[in-house]
Amino acid sequence: MPRRVSAMEAVLAHLRDAIERGDFAVGDKLPSEAELGQRFSVSRPVVREALRALQALGLTVSKAGKGTYVVAEGPVENPTFGTYSARDLFEVRRHVEIPVAQYAADRRSQEDLDVLAHLLERMERETDTTVWVALDTLFHVTVAQASGNPVFGKIIEEIRDALAHQSAFLNQLGGRRRTHSDREHRAIVEAIAAGTGPRAAQAMAAHLESVEAALHTIVRPARTHEANERDPAHE
């Protein structure tokens, strides 16, 4: 069954389509949050989330006190999270986190395993998405620290904010947590706990591939009526 589209996703789809059709040209200012809320019959927080997603996709920029302006017509291939692009993040993560997982399986201490197990347990029962995203980034930092190489920990710490932005984006628009994230994280922890380096590397690689595929689906959605499965006016 297709995943039900949230009000925010529906508003985002409408605005994104309008920009890509040329209804809003580069340099145009989008209507205010209040105006968009009235137009789509949704709350201002819903509109605000949709506008943040547009900005993450690289279609708009928000100017304090002035509003939101269109800066690209799309389709966007390489969204930005914090100060790093998605492409930059994936290149680094593939070359760092996969070997890191293998080193962690070979070198982890009992304390490392206890921390990872605790984080996994908290993530699987956490209901607040913001808290879950923070735990998600801490999970990846902890795996890096378990490798026994402090340089790996520093690298993941450097991209930590960008990872948090990306994680929030994927959970907001792709429902990643509900479908794959927790299961993938458990596979990584189980492989590290078993001390099986190749298996841990494989589990991390599968996780990163899944994340990249989810982002690709959001950035380049199928242009069908599926995007309008739920009309925000009926939220």
Query: What is the reported pLDDT for 177?
Result: 64
Q: What is the pTM of this model?
A: 0.77
Query: What is the reported pLDDT for 176?
Result: 67
Query: What is the reported pLDDT for 233?
Result: 45
Domain boundaries, the chain: 7-77+220-234, 80-219
Query: What is the reported pLDDT for 175?
Result: 64
Here the tokens at position 208 are 């990163």
Place of tokens 């800066």: 71
- Tell whether the model's pLDDT for residue 167 goes beyond 50: yes
Question: What percentage of the chain reaches a pLDDT higher than 70?
Answer: 88
Q: State pLDDT tens for residues 56-70.
A: 788 898 888 889 999
Q: Give the closest residue to 177 by CA, choosing from 221, 125, 138, 114.
A: 125
The residue among 20 and 114 whose pLDDT is bigger is 114
For residues 84 and 162, the answer to whether their CB atoms sit within 8 Å is: yes
Taking residues 229-235, report their average pLDDT: 44
Q: Which long-range contacts (CB under 8 A, 24 or more apart) does 111-118 make?
A: 112/142, 112/145, 112/146, 112/192, 113/146, 113/192, 113/193, 115/142, 116/142, 116/143, 116/146, 116/189, 116/192, 116/193, 117/189, 117/193
For residues 82 and 162, the answer to whether their CB atoms sit within 8 Å is: yes
In the CATH scheme, what architecture does the domain 7-77+220-234 have? Answer: Orthogonal Bundle (1.10)
Query: What is the reported pLDDT for 216?
Result: 86
Categorize the per-residue pLDDT at 100 as very low, low, confident or very high, splitting at 50, 70 and 90.
very high
For residues 147 and 107, the answer to whether their CB atoms sit within 8 Å is: yes
Provide the 8-state DSSP code for 4.
P
Q: State pLDDT tens for residues 27-85.
A: 999 999 999 999 999 999 999 988 988 887 888 988 888 899 999 887 677 888 888 99
CATH topology of domain 80-219: Four Helix Bundle (Hemerythrin (Met), subunit A) (1.20.120)
- How big is the chain, counted in residues? 235
